[in-house]
Amino acid sequence: MEIVITGRHTQIKQRFREVVESKMNRVTAIAPDAQRIQVVLTHEGNPRQADSAKRVELTVLAGKTVIRAEASSADEFSALDMALDKLTLRLRRARDRRKDHRRGLDHAPLPVEVLPEEPRRPEEVSAPDPDNSAQDAVASDLEPGQSVEVQVGDTPIVIRRKLHIAEPMSIDEALYEMELIGHDFFLFVNKETHRPSVVYRRHGWSYGVFEIDTPEHVGKK
């Protein structure tokens, strides 16, 4: 398994590299098909955030599956341990799900609230912004998997853009992918409606799904 370690606003010390490499056997023990793990260590320079100054992000690529976890702490070693605990839990869930599918077991659908389509009111339409620097900043073409970060003019705003290629999936599959990467939302293309959609966490084990479409396309139905 390839291990890639990078730092943001910090230098990666040899000791940290050694600890990371020594702990990655936990990943291969659960996911022997893992091909690559990306480890990103970020340092937060704000002294008010000293308790979470170091953030470790772990991303595992295993075939077409991406599993992600992150954690923050006062030092990089504690953050690594916490992130690794989250990652191994999600890896076990992915492994168990694959086993269940091979056994032919069906999963009960998770409770999802589908938001009704609401027509946009005229008063909600904002006037065109003469400063289109934000649009210009993300207008360039990207290759699949490529990401880019750009600063908008002289402002502190930074926009990160990434192109992700994925097969259309069901709502249940999208919820599963959202749990694997540890986000509160997941963007996907619904294979039943062919609409760009977002599933998101509401509260407890309750989820929502939001779909978008154009007035022209809806009018043709």
* pLDDT (0 to 100) of residue 138: 54
State the pLDDT at residue 126: 39
Burial 164-185 (b: 16+ CB within 10 A, else e): eeeeebebebbbbbbbbebeee
Check residue 61 and give its pLDDT: 87
Q: Specify the number of domains making up the chain.
A: 2
Provide the whole-model pTM: 0.57
Q: Which pLDDT score, from 0 to 100, does residue 220 have?
A: 67
Tell me, yes or no, whether 124 lies in a domain. no
pLDDT for 3: 94
Question: Which CATH number characterizes residue 66's domain?
Answer: 3.30.160.100
**Within the chain, which residues score under 70 in pLDDT?**
98-147, 204-205, 219-221
Find the domain containing 92 and state its range: 2-102
- Position 148 scores a pLDDT of 72
What is the pLDDT at residue 19? Answer: 95
Q: What is the pLDDT of residue 11?
A: 92
φ and ψ of 69, to 5 deg: -155, 155
